[in-house]
């Protein structure tokens, strides 16, 4: 039950069905009562007619005069049956309609007794039977108690009852469905702002829009406003944080530049105080570079931030690197799958790809190749595959291991693969991606990186 509309639907439909059930049951009960009463009346009137029509026969038994018989009693299988028992002469008169039927009219009764019963006729047809014990006062052989019985087949009544029941079910069922349908439509309407909220939050997550829209109903507008405030606040906070770090780096590096330039000349003499200071300045710059950059990397997608177009970043970096490495006869091949996107911060991605490509350009003889593809097979988030190859000398096993190691103090430079690659490694880890280094078909090193993307 994780859906509000399902819960509401259930809440409403249970009482609805209970109500209709009880109504149906009560109606059915009164129908049955009504049909019983009319059956009773039929039986009573037939009984009275039978008693009135009974005449003493020459043999001392009673039977109705044939002319006074109702046509239904003379037609076999009509559904109306009668019997008169005259115990003195042990004779039983049965209406012609009983021909071929075996109806259990029940035992003989004492005078004044009256019974109702139901009996099964052949073919499982039920009949209602009324019997009365009667003594005629004008009977010459007085003391003889006659038992009059009238039976009516229940078939037609039951048929009628079923017809009524079916009708009831149809009407109530239809009504219930109609109500439920209306309810579903109403719920959809009532819950549509929630659905919109859900859609918009999703769009924010995917970076298609940056904040939630307006025009939510009163109950939700507070939530939407607060969410927007949170989104904007978070973004502002991150930007301010980065700005501060950038300013900090700037304000630390400029005096370091001045110090370094003031030392020039003295540095060349090994063992001099200038040389020692110079190496300390280098270390400090390294730490500032690495730690501040690391702190400024966002390490995840900010909500509402658009995904990064990998192709655009790649071609910008390519143009930049070709300019920077103009002294080298360099070719950078790009093979970027169309519309591949990195899910995360643009700055992080530019930094990461810039560093890997820069490293490749630094070490290559003349060729660097960047291949970007989107993995459709895996269901993981890390579907963006970035491969950078070069035709340089490659990286030794030992250095590969060092670059791949977690927690290595990377401000102690791995010669030639220093801060830049440590930074790359950090960023990949923050995004939960992976980095493998092996030999490229071009001859140099191959960096294969997996990152969240689509």
Could you tell me the smallest distance in angstroms from the CB atom of residue 207 to another protein?
A: 18
Task: Scan residues 358-377 and list those touching another protein (CB under 8 A).
Answer: 358
- Residue span binding another protein (CB under 8 A) among the ranges 68-76, 225-233, 256-264, 382-390: 256-264
Contact region for another protein (CB under 8 A) — 25-33, 254-262, 381-389, 399-407? Answer: 254-262
Binding residues for another protein, total number by CB under 8 A: 33
Which of 256, 277, 408, 414 touches another protein (CB under 8 A)? Answer: 256
**Tokens found for residue 252:** 């630390």
Token digits of residue 52 = 């009135």
- What is the DSSP secondary structure assignment for residue 145, as one 8-state letter? P
In this chain, which stretch among 3-11, 122-130, 243-251, 269-277 interacts with another protein, using CB under 8 A?
Answer: 243-251
Question: Inter-axis angle of helices 346-363 and 310-324, to 10 degrees?
Answer: 40
Interface characters, 336-355, with another protein (x: CB under 8 A): ----------xx--xx-xxx
Give the C-alpha separation, 296 to 51, whole Å: 112
Hey, how many other C-beta atoms are within 10 angstroms of the C-beta on 416? 13
- Nearest CA-CA partner of 235 in 179, 298, 278, 192: 298
Binding residue for another protein, selected from 137, 142, 214, 261, defined by CB under 8 A: 261
**Considering the rule CB under 8 A, would residue 254 count as an interface residue with another protein?**
yes
Q: Which of 182, 225, 257, 434 binds another protein (CB under 8 A)?
A: 257
Minimum CB separation from another protein for residue 205, in Å? Answer: 24
Which position among 120, 166, 225, 264 is part of the footprint of another protein (CB under 8 A)? 264
Residue with tokens 């990286």: 395
Q: Which residue has the tokens 């269901």?
A: 379
User: Counting contacts by CB under 8 A, is residue 293 touching another protein?
Assistant: yes
Nearer to another protein, 65 or 262 (CB): 262
CA distance 376 to 454: 9
DSSP string computed for 114-137 = EEEEEEE-GGG-EEEEEEEEE--T
Q: Which stretch binds another protein (CB under 8 A): 98-106, 125-133, 226-234, 314-322?
A: 314-322
Helix 273-296, helix 419-430: angle, nearest 10: 20
Nearer to another protein, 51 or 295 (CB): 295
What is the side-by-side strand order in the sheet with 91-94? 91-94, 80-86, 146-153, 126-134, 114-120
Give which of 212, 195, 210 is closest to 303, Cα–Cα. 210
Nearer to another protein, 171 or 312 (CB): 312
Residue 423 beta carbon to another protein: minimum distance, rounded to whole angstroms: 10
Longest dimension (CA), the chain: 162
Give least dist CB 317 to another protein, A: 6
User: Closest CB to another protein among 261 and 376?
Assistant: 261
Angstrom distance (rounded) from CA 52 to CA 340: 103
Estimate the crossing angle of helix 218-263 against helix 273-296, to 10 degrees. 170
Report the interface residues with another protein, using CB under 8 A.
246, 249-250, 253-254, 256-262, 264, 281, 285, 289, 293, 316-317, 319-320, 323-324, 326-327, 346-347, 350-351, 353-355, 358
């Amino acid at each position: 039950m994780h859906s509000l509309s399902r819960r509401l639907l259930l809440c409403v439909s249970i009482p609805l069905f209970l109500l209709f059930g009880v109504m149906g049951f009560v109606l059915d009960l009164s129908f049955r009562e009504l049909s019983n009463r009319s059956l009773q009346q039929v039986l009573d009137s037939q009984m009275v007619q039978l008693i009135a029509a009974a005449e003493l026969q020459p043999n001392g038994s009673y039977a109705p005069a044939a002319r006074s018989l109702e046509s239904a009693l003379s037609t076999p299988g009509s559904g109306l049956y009668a019997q008169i028992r005259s115990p003195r002469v042990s004779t039983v008169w049965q209406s012609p309609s009983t021909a071929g039927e075996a109806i259990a009219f029940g035992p003989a009764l004492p005078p004044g007794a009256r019974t109702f019963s139901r009996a099964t006729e052949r073919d499982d047809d039920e009949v209602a039977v009324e019997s009365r014990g009667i003594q005629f006062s004008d009977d010459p052989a007085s003391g003889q108690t006659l038992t009059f019985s009238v039976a009516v087949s229940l078939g037609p009544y039951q048929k009628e009852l079923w017809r009524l029941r079916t009708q009831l079910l149809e009407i109530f069922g239809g009504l219930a469905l109609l109500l439920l349908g209306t309810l579903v439509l109403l719920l959809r309407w009532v819950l549509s702002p929630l659905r919109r909220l859900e859609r918009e939050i999703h769009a924010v997550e995917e970076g298609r829009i940056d904040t939630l829209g307006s025009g939510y109903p009163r109950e939700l507008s507070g939530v939407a406003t607060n969410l927007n405030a949170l989104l904007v606040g978070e973004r502002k906070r991150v930007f301010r944080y980065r700005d501060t770090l950038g300013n900090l780096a700037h304000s630390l590096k400029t005096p370091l530049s001045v110090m370094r330039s003031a030392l020039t000349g003295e540095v060349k003499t090994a063992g001099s105080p200038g040389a020692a200071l110079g190496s300390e300045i280098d270390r400090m710059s390294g730490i500032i570079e690495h730690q501040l950059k690391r702190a400024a990397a966002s390490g995840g997608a900010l909500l509402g931030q658009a995904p990064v177009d990998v192709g655009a970043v790649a071609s910008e970096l390519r143009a930049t690197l070709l300019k920077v490495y103009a002294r080298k006869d360099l070719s950078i091949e790009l093979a970027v799958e169309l519309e591949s996107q990195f899910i995360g911060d643009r700055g992080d991605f530019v930094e990461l790809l810039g560093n890997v490509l820069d490293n490749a350009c630094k070490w290559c003889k003349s060729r660097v190749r960047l291949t970007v593809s989107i993995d459709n097979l895996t269901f993981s988030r890390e579907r963006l595959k970035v491969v950078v190859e070069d035709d340089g000398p490659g990286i030794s096993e030992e250095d590969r291991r060092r670059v791949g190691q977690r927690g290595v103090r990377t401000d102690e430079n791995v010669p030639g693969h220093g801060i830049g690659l440590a930074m790359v490694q950090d960023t990949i880890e923050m995004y939960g991606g992976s980095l493998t280094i092996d030999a490229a078909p071009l001859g140099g090193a191959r960096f294969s990186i997996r990152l969240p993307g689509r």
